[in-house]
C-alpha cells in the first residue's frame, strides 16, 4: 500500500493566495521529501526534511513535519500561475537495504491549479 497519502487530491486557488497541501504516512520514516510534476513531465525535487526536523524553508516553500501525527504539510506562499503542477510527498523507511539505498515511496499527489 502507498506510504504517503496527499490531501486534498485537487486544489484550485487564485494567484497570490497561499496553497497548503498535506501528506500523511503510516510507518516510521527517516526523511520526507516533496516533489513537483508539471503536466506530463518528470518529477522535480523541491525539499527534503529529516525526521528530527520540524520545519524547513526554501524560497516560497515551507514544509512542516509532525512525526507524532505522521504528517507533513507543504505551504506555497504568494502562489503564481507557474506553480500549477502536481505535488507529491515521498517517504523512506527507517531500514537499510542492500547497496545503501533506502526505498522511497511516493504518494498519489495533489493537483494544484493557480488561476491568474
Partner 1 sequence: DVKVTQSSRYLVKRTGEKVFLECVQDMDHENMFWYRQDPGLGLRLIYFSYDVKMKEKGDIPEGYSVSREKKERFSLILESASTNQTSMYLCATALADSYEQYFGPGTRLTVT
* Per-residue contact string for residues 49-78; x = within reach of partner 1 by CB under 8 A: ------------------------------
Distance CA 30, CA 59 (A): 23
Helix (H) or strand (E) holding 24: strand 19-24
Report the site for partner 1 in 96-115 (rule: CB under 8 A).
97-109
How many residues form the binding site for partner 1 (CB under 8 A)? 27
Distance CA 17, CA 15 (A): 6
Can you tell me whether residue 27 is helix, strand or coil? coil
Query: In the complex, which residues of this chain contact partner 1 (CB under 8 A)?
Result: 2, 30-31, 33, 40-45, 48, 88, 90, 92, 97-109
Amino acid at each position: 500500500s502507498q506510504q504517503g497519502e496527499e490531501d486534498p487530491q485537487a486544489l484550485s486557488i487564485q494567484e497570490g493566495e497561499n496553497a497548503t497541501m498535506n501528506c500523511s504516512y503510516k510507518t516510521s520514516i527517516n526523511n520526507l521529501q516533496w516533489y513537483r510534476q508539471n503536466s506530463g513531465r518528470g518529477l522535480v525535487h523541491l525539499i527534503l526534511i529529516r525526521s528530527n526536523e520540524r520545519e524547513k524553508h526554501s524560497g516560497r516553500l515551507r514544509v512542516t513535519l509532525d512525526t507524532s501525527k505522521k504528517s507533513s504539510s507543504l505551504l506555497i506562499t504568494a502562489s503564481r500561475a507557474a506553480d500549477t503542477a502536481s505535488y507529491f510527498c515521498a517517504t523512506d523507511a527507517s531500514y537499510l537495504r542492500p547497496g545503501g539505498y533506502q526505498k522511497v515511496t511516493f504518494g498519489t499527489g495533489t493537483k494544484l491549479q493557480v488561476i491568474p
